[in-house]
Amino acid sequence: MSKASEAIAKFIQGRPRFHACATVAENMVKRPVFKCQDCGQCILSYTAFTCCMRCPKQMRNGPCGGTQEDGHCEVYPERHCIWWLIHKRAKWMGRTKKLARLQQPHDWRWEHTSAWLHVFAGELEPPSWGRE
Amino acid sequence: MDTELSAPNIQLKSGSNLEKLLRAGEFVVCGEMSPPQSVDSGSIAKKCSYFKGYVDAVNLTDNQTAIVRMSSVVSSYLALSGDVEPIMQLTCRDRNRLAMQSDILGAYALGIRNILCLTGDHQKFGNHPDAKGVFDLDAIQVVQMVKKMRDEKQFLCGEEMKQEPRMFIGAAANPCGEPFEMRILNLIKKAAAGADFIQTQPVFDVPGFERWMKVARDEGLDKEVFILAGVMPVRSVKALLYMKESVPGMRIAPEYVKRLEPITEKEAAMEEGVRIAVEIMQQLRQIQGIAGIHIMPVMWESITPRLVEEAGLLPRPEVGQ
């Protein structure tokens, strides 16, 4: 990210109202499209653009042992296991190698903050767009 | 990364008996016991007598199936005083990263040298379904954290510590779970995160397990981590069917159901259950890349000596100091 975008991002982050507006703008896109859970530390590009924070255990590295044979979640049997969906979509998109990355522990201070601003401010790695 | 796990004179990471035996190339046997749902420390001492001399280490479960039991740290310590080497289970459901690290420090200070890092069953399935699940970290991140504490003498945050907990780090695997490729990937990630040994879910479908093991071998994982295959003795066809219905990723060969189904007498069904478990143990032992067996006699700890004896795994090897 350039120095200018970093300065702008930090300027916005320093002002709670601006930051809230940026978060709302981001959510308007990411909520309906990815069912984003607003963790603020986005790894969508590593999870076939499917938000893994929808998992009841918020697993960021892969499924727990509770995926049923038909791909449903053991906690909420009416839903698909989110990692089952991620795996299916990653195969379809040719992004399975991205699943192998060890995702570091989540920084919970970033919950309900704008991930895009974190990227522009140089605090979060930019999305990994390339296929493989 | 170790290319040869059991090379002689290899630097021990923890010095636990389990590690020494595995590094010496011995085929190990682990047991498992659940701590009491009360303050009855005597029940641990009693269960220890079923395991002592018959297995090399015993898992102490951590509020298994989300039901409140005595703490796994304390139970592991009590097992240690019962002359049984504990493998302390640690789940992410009940603790955040601070509590986990402090429990690890405490456990090491009490003499516990093996740890099994798990994500943990969801609280919905236990006796406090109204609880808040923590899930601050996942099992893979815990493995990484314990390794960092041991090898880099650092807490997760990066701060240094004076004396590090030298734990032998374990994690779990679900060979018959769905989706298959994700299960292998999970194992690869756990090995990469720094797991020293893996304990699998109970196997009731040996050919299915062999398929998983073959892929694991092709990925070279049997050279990176010690893989211990799970075995569970069942007392009745009801128990077997319950596993099939309610435990995801539990594939059960129809043969075992067929064998247990016609037996109506309780004692005879138990005998058949033992025969099935012993058969599975013997078949697993033949599979290349398996470093040991992990017996999970849920609420039936007293059967362990018979299983180990009939599977031809006695006497247990002694470790050199």
Place of tokens 């058949």: B272
Q: Is residue A33 part of a domain?
A: yes
Please give the backbone phi and psi of residue B302, each rounded to the nearest 5 degrees, phi first: -65, -15
- As for how many domains chain A has, the answer is 2
The string of pLDDT tens digits covering residues B276-292 is 999 999 999 999 999 99
Give the pair of three-digit tokens for residue A18. Answer: 């601006």
Which residues of chain B lie closer than 8 angstroms to A68, CB-CB?
178, 248
- Report all structural domains of chain B as residue ranges with CATH numbers, in order of start: 27-310 (3.20.20.220)
Q: Are residues A89 and A55 in the same domain?
A: yes
- The number of C-beta contacts closer than 8 angstroms across A and B is 89
Q: Which domain holds residue A79?
A: 44-105
Q: Is residue A130 part of a domain?
A: no
Q: Which residues of chain B have pLDDT under 50?
A: 1-2
Give the pair of three-digit tokens for residue B15. Answer: 């010095």
Using only C-alpha atoms, what is the Rg of chain B? 19
The string of pLDDT tens digits covering residues B96-105 is 999 999 999 9
Q: Are residues A64 and A31 in the same domain?
A: no
CA dihedral A89, B199, B89, B51 (to 10 degrees): 160
Q: Is A122 on the interface with B (CB under 8 A)?
A: no
Mean per-residue pLDDT of chain B: 95
Interface test with A, best of B93, B95, B122, B188 (most A CBs within 10 A): B122
Q: Are residues A6 and A53 in the same domain?
A: no
Q: Model ipTM?
A: 0.95
Distance of CA B16 to the CA centre of its chain: 15
Give the pair of three-digit tokens for residue A115. Answer: 């991930």
pTM: 0.95
What DSSP character marks residue A19?
Answer: H
Distance of CA B249 to the CA centre of its chain: 17
The answer to whether A10 and A4 have CB atoms below 8 angstroms apart is: no
Using only C-alpha atoms, what is the Rg of chain A? 16
Give the pair of three-digit tokens for residue A13. Answer: 């982050």
The answer to whether A19 and A12 have CB atoms below 8 angstroms apart is: yes
Q: Are residues A23 and A76 in the same domain?
A: no
Give the relative orientation of helices B206-218 and B180-193 as an angle to the nearest 10 degrees. Answer: 50
Which residues of chain B lie closer than 8 angstroms to A71, CB-CB?
178-179
Minimal Cα–Cα distance from A112 to chain B, Å?
16
The string of pLDDT tens digits covering residues A73-129 is 999 999 999 999 999 999 999 999 999 999 999 999 999 999 999 999 999 999 998
SS3 content of chain B, % helix, strand, coil (to 5): 45, 15, 40
Q: Is A74 on the interface with B (CB under 8 A)?
A: yes
Which residues of chain B lie closer than 8 angstroms to A84, CB-CB?
178-179, 182
Are A105 and B97 within 8 A, CB to CB? yes
